[in-house]
Structure 1
Amino acid sequence: MSTNALKAAATGGAVTRTNEKPKTLDQLLASPKIKAQMALALPRHMTADRLARIATTEIRKVPKLATCDQVSFLGAIMQCAQLGLEPGGALGHAYLLPFDKRQKVNGRWETVATEAQLIIGYRGMIDLARRSGQILSISARTVYQNDKFSYAYGLEETLEHVPNETGNRGDLTHVYAVARLKDGGVQFEVMSRADVEKVRAMSKAGSNGPWVDHFDEMAKKTVIRRLFKYLPVSIELQQAVVLDEKAEAGIAQDNGAALTGEYSVVDDTPPPSLANDEINPDELLSGFVEAANVAKTVEELDAVYAAVAAPLASHYDVLQQVTDIHGTP
């Protein structure tokens, strides 16, 4: 077995089969191996079946997602799983959008691939912030022309907002976010409509997707993201902000890195037995050591050991070395 195949065993990935026709994204999402990877990353309140169904629904709502590079799409789904966020507009946690990757070809800009990008919604940002344990509450509000609104920074910071509930509130003028910390402190950030529009203008997705369909929510997310600079946040939230900033700037998120194991086309048929391969004990030993180094759990290490133990049965000296490394008595 190759070192790459052993690494795939170590991380729960599928053995690559490049001679098979790629499946559709719908089929890949239904794959037990993809669902198994999702399940490993998901928090307790979510299931792999639910995430797969939601992702399939998003493909039907945004047909261009079906044309996305499969690794980028599955990687974006895996990022959702790792962050514990549901994609789609139902909760407003996150959105999956297709982005055309353009490069110069013979002096002309051409679309060379379509990749899926993960955009975090403001409710997703709030959900992640609350998980840090240091933030008691965080909220964002939009301000309109006919509301009563004032704020001041400095030694005596103040913020007052009284919405006009008796008539037309007018156009959106400001957006603000407030966080109450566990130690009793309060932080807030205010942005004008012009400030938000500047951020939108720099976004690759500024003319479509959530910026068009859910402008108020994107404005709230923008001010929340700015507020995060002054708050104690978790690693997951930092990761979400980085992903979101890349999506806004049109920079590749490298979502494929979220997939474990080697991936090109997932195949649900079992790989051929090692017993049928030509056994090279030294190569298997070297591959085992390298794959063992990337195994993150005892179960993953056991999977690698099981993959090499049987074919090494007739090579006792090498098997003993593998057993010693594995720690099996």
Structure 2
Amino acid sequence: MSNQLTVNAATMFEQFRPDLLPIMAETGQSFDRLKSTFSIAVQQNPDILKCTPESLRREISKCAVDGLVPDSKEAVLLPYLDNKSKEYIANYQPMVYGIIKRMKELGGVFQIVCNLVYKTDLFSMNEADPDSLAHKQADPFGTDRGDVVGGYVIFRDEHKRLMHFEKMSREDFDRVRAASKAPDSPAWKHWFEEMCKKAVLRRGAKYISINNDKIRALIERQDTMFDFQEKPKAERVDPFSGATIDGTVVDAAPASRTQQAGSGASEKTAPAKKELAEKPPEFPSDLDLLPGDIDSLKEATEKVLKIALDKKLDAPGRRGVLKGMPETWKPVLPEYLHPLLKTMIDVTDWAILRDAAGLPWAGEHAMFVHKMKELLGVEKLNIGKYP
């Protein structure tokens, strides 16, 4: 039986060779290693072979793109029965170990500590000084630490300086699970602690500077697991300072065409749209850019302005990433460029809010991009494609 499973797994995997080889040539992975780990995964869970070939092809391709293998350490393949089609569907999940491994390899992060806190643990920290964190097991040799009560992640650079600290409570984890598109999936049922670690790692990673698209895609891939469309309305804040601008709220997702055009549109939606500014903040005038600052400003410009066009994230997700931009780029840019950085962040936030409310924004955003190109003296900025 065991040998037959191995043969069947190898036969099926060979069908994916034409799709995987180009991907693996780019990531530098070994096709044979991915094939062997897939066979081991099938040995451990034969239901994987019951999954539709298309779902397996799709999920294994994602695994290859991320540079991971489904060895239950870096990543895992989970089969689940779709209630509608009555077919088994494969689901690829990168594990915390795999995410941290790739972030260290490609993301410029020297150290990542991601832990859960249990009921019997001894945990203390001064919020003003994350380096004061102390986390110990009450009984180092005990096996029952009680329920998970929270978790945290710490990112440090090559000089071991703190890049970001993020913590989440058990209530936060429960809300993440409730927002999941499949809260009772095998991942949450059988890998609960792993999913909690991924939740805090995913949230924290959005607030550090990751100059690698592959790592950003790996982190943001997790957003597809969650349904954010029913989230509460987002309060308008100044993402540069984090301070509340006013009490205005906008829908996290665009209103449907029926709501926009029909007479039955809610009264709360229309005023919110009217309160959004028609024009973004004006481009600063009389700005003399020093030649030595062009490269760093160009990189900051691309990272900030492209957030408005990143449709992998919903509006609250994009604004969450945007809020971390001042902490990332103010130390990089000289002080005379800080007002310009604030304007770029404000323009991006304006575009996200307009987009979320179903109002036009792309033309004004594109004009701002054009002015930035003129200032930088470049022909193109890598910010993505407009809708």
- The letter for the 2-side match of 1:125 is I
Q: Matched residue pairs, number? A: 216
- The letter for the 2-side match of 1:147 is D
Identity score, percent: 26
Match of residue 221 from structure 1: 198
Q: CA deviation at 1:25?
A: 6.3
- Is contact 1:28-1:34 (8 Å) kept? no
Q: CA 1:77 to 1:238, structure 2 compared with 1: closer, same or farther past 3 Å?
A: same
Q: CA 1:63 to 1:133, structure 2 compared with 1: closer, same or farther past 3 Å?
A: closer
Match of residue 162 from structure 2: 185
- Is contact 1:119-1:243 (8 Å) kept? no
Match of residue 85 from structure 1: 68
Q: CA 1:30 to 1:52, structure 2 compared with 1: closer, same or farther past 3 Å?
A: same
2:149 to 151, 154, 173: 173
- Is contact 2:156-2:162 (8 Å) kept? yes
Q: Distance in 1 between matches of 2:228 and 2:90?
A: 11
1:95 to 76, 92, 117: 76
Pick 1 or 2: higher relative contact order, CA cutoff 8 A, min separation 6.
Answer: 1
- Is contact 2:124-2:134 (8 Å) kept? yes
SS in structure 1 of the partner of residue 92 of structure 2: strand
Match of residue 245 from structure 1: 223
SS in structure 2 of the partner of residue 51 of structure 1: helix
Q: Distance in 2 between matches of 1:35 and 1:190?
A: 37
> Structure 2: any 5+ residue segments left out of the alignment?
1-7, 230-387
- Is contact 2:9-2:38 (8 Å) kept? no
- Is contact 1:179-1:187 (8 Å) kept? yes
Q: CA deviation at 1:182?
A: 3.2
1:141 to 96, 106, 115: 115
CA deviations on 1:139-162 (whole Å, 9 max, x unpaired) are 1112122222123435x4442222
Structure 1 or 2, whichever has the larger Rg, is 1
Q: Distance in 1 between matches of 2:134 and 2:163?
A: 14
> Structure 1: any 5+ residue segments left out of the alignment?
1-23, 103-109, 252-329
- The letter for the 2-side match of 1:98 is P
Q: What is the Cα-based RMSD across aligned positions, in Å?
A: 2.9
- Is contact 2:163-2:208 (8 Å) kept? no
- The letter for the 2-side match of 1:236 is K
SS in structure 2 of the partner of residue 131 of structure 1: helix
- Is contact 1:42-1:48 (8 Å) kept? no
Match of residue 41 from structure 2: 58
TM-score, L = length of structure 2: 0.49
SS in structure 2 of the partner of residue 169 of structure 1: coil
